[in-house]
Amino acid sequence: MASGRVCAIIGPTSPVGSSSATEDVIIGGSTITERIRVIDFDGTTAEYIDIPIQLVNYNGGGITVSGRISWSTSTTITQQSRIEADIRVLETSDNPTSLYTYTFGGTSVNVTGTIGLSAVFSMNIADEAGMADDVVILLRMRRDPAHVDDNATGDTELWIDSLLVKEQ
Amino acid sequence: MAVTDQQLRGLDRDFQEDISRTRTPGTLSKPELFAAWRAIRDWVTLNQPSFNSAIPPQARSALTQAQKFALLAAVITQEIQNG
């Protein structure tokens, strides 16, 4: 418990049924250009993405989700994007077709001063009943453009391959 | 009829998607950008009478309001393309 160690295998992102954030790439600047895979979150409409995660070596105490985001337009450091998440624990006793109400918590991240640069975010998610080794949880992430902190113009980009899940 | 705030929200969304797609640098926050939309809408509403008066009398009476706005939009679009 509270080890701070990586405790999850992260699966491929899964679009939600509606208001889904969209996959995109940032094109690198090398002679043969790189492709950085990102998820675009709209600046005016709340959009969501699901990420399945299998817990491994998890000893309880909740998780910390961290990663990197960047912005496609803004250049001032006085702006922020609000990144939020919640989880659904998919135990064998949980029928995924039943209703689950997500309760989002998150963090407000300052826009980097230069377009193209990314910022690190981190947020804690409390332990929930059923979270244990080998259990799959769905991490649902969103940007909340209606949040009082969220004033950054344009898309916010979540770097898919930067996601990390650790024990708190 | 003046453009509503809800309609402006739709225009704002499209504009933000466009500048995001092209990765256009900018410095405006969302509230600042929307204030610009509102100011432009209010300016257009306020200046409709002078816009109408600027059109020669024959065309002024022959063209519908929608046609006059279509001409205005075409001129502005060309201005944008001219840079």
Contact (Cβ atoms closer than 8 angstroms) between residue A77 and residue A151: no
Distance from CA of A53 to the nearest CA of B (A): 29
Average of per-residue pLDDT across A34-42: 95
pTM: 0.86
Say if A160 falls within a structural domain: yes
Q: Is residue A15 part of a domain?
A: yes
State whether A151 and B17 contact (CB < 8 Å): no
What is the distance between the alpha carbons of residues A141 and A87, in angstroms, rounded to a whole number?
A: 9
CATH of the domain at A101: 2.60.120.260
B30 and A150 within 8 Å at the Cβ level: the answer is yes
Whether the complex's predicted ipTM surpasses the cut of 0.90: no
Report chain B residues whose CB lies below 8 A from the CB of A115. Answer: 23, 25
Residue A36 lies in a domain: yes
Give residue ranges of A with CB < 8 Å to any B CB: 40, 42-45, 72-76, 78-79, 115, 145, 150-155
pLDDT band at A29; cut points 50, 70, 90: very high
The helix (H) or strand (E) run that includes residue A48 is: strand A47-55
A153 closest CB neighbour out of B21, B23, B28: B28
The yes-or-no verdict on residue A5 having pLDDT over 80 is yes
Smallest CA–CA distance, residue A85 to chain B, in Å, is 22
Tokens at residue A79, please? 């702006």
Split into its structural domains, chain A has a count of 1
Residue spans of the domains in chain B: they are 5-82
| Average of per-residue pLDDT values in chain A | 93
Q: Which among B30, B7, B3 has a CA at the least distance from the CA of A42?
A: B30
Which member of B9, B23, B26 has the closest CB to residue A153?
Answer: B26
B33: chain A residues, CB-CB within 8 Å: 153
pLDDT digit string, tens, across residues A78-101: 889 999 999 999 988 888 899 999
Q: What range defines the domain where residue A20 resides?
A: 8-167
Q: Which residues pair with A51 in a beta bridge?
A: A139
On whether residue A2 sits in a domain, the answer given is no
Q: Which residue matches tokens 């039943």?
A: A98
A42 is a domain residue: yes
Whether B16 and B34 have beta carbons less than 8 Å apart is answered as: no
For residue A1, pLDDT over 70 is answered with no
Beta bridge partners of A156: A41, A71
